[in-house]
Amino acid sequence: MNQWFERLTDQVALVHDEATMKATLEKLSRERGFKAYAYLNLKAELQSAISNYDVEWQQRYFNKCYASIDPVVQHARGRHEAFTWSNVTSLKMSKTRRKFYGEAAEFGIRSGITIPIKIAFGHTVMLTLASDCVNFPCEPAINPALAAAAVAQLHSRLERLGVEPTHRTPIRMKANELTCLRWSAEGKSMKAIAIIENTSYSNVTFFLRNAKAALGATTLPQATAMAKELRLI
């Protein structure tokens, strides 16, 4: 597996476009015997993925906010080091977790390896290689530094190329919320926005509060920054 991480680092460094990046990740994953790959970017309450998982599973995963109950994601958040996992269920496991693992297994996701790393400003990204085997055979000795370096190289390249996610957390915002958020991004105060949009100050605060909630943001500057990054405004 350590040689695979070295190969990943080398191959990713040679990629110069989105299509080649996705094809390279799929090719390398299958060469190593994995069914699929998933690069997951966790920011606040929003997640985005670049993956070749079944489209139906990706839609279900994000629409039902499964990242909040996914045992692999929960483990990755608390331990930034490569680890293997399996969805073998047991009676001690919660009903919710057993149900999640059962659904994942329907799409051929039964075991694998996940490499989470910390990136700037307290965020986490992780690369998962998934197998349809109950227990994927993997060497026990994984060099954590080598694995982390490979995923860091992958993250940097994906960011530089601006690779579009294959799926992300759905964001449901109304036109009034987006409009007020855009004016805020332009430097307008809430009082000024109320005048421009011919509405009340209380309405503007209500729209912006809803916009922050939809984005999982705690402050208005964070909400405008996230909305711009997601190309919502």
- Same domain assignment for residues 93 and 29: yes
Domain boundary, last residue among 138, 168, 198: 168
> How many angstroms separate the first and last alpha carbons of the chain?
42
- Same domain assignment for residues 20 and 129: yes
Read off the pLDDT of residues 206-216 as tens digits, 9 standing for 90 and up: 999 999 988 88
- Same domain assignment for residues 104 and 81: yes
Q: Domain containing 133: what range? A: 2-168
Domain boundary, last residue among 145, 168, 191: 168
Would you say residue 16 has pLDDT above 70?
yes
pTM: 0.80
CB contact at 8 A, 58 and 167: yes
- Same domain assignment for residues 153 and 183: no
Q: 5 falls in which pLDDT band (50, 70, 90)?
A: very high
Would you say residue 139 has pLDDT above 70?
no
Beta-carbon count within 10 A of 11 CB: 18
Q: What CATH number is attached to the domain comprising 150?
A: 3.30.450.80
CB contact at 8 A, 184 and 172: no
Read off the pLDDT of residues 73-107 as tens digits, 9 standing for 90 and up: 988 888 888 998 888 755 567 888 888 988 999 99
Rounded to whole angstroms, how far apart are CA atoms 135 and 111?
6
Read off the pLDDT of residues 165-221 as tens digits, 9 standing for 90 and up: 998 887 888 999 999 999 999 999 999 999 999 999 999 999 999 999 888 888 999
pLDDT average, residue stretch 68-76:
89
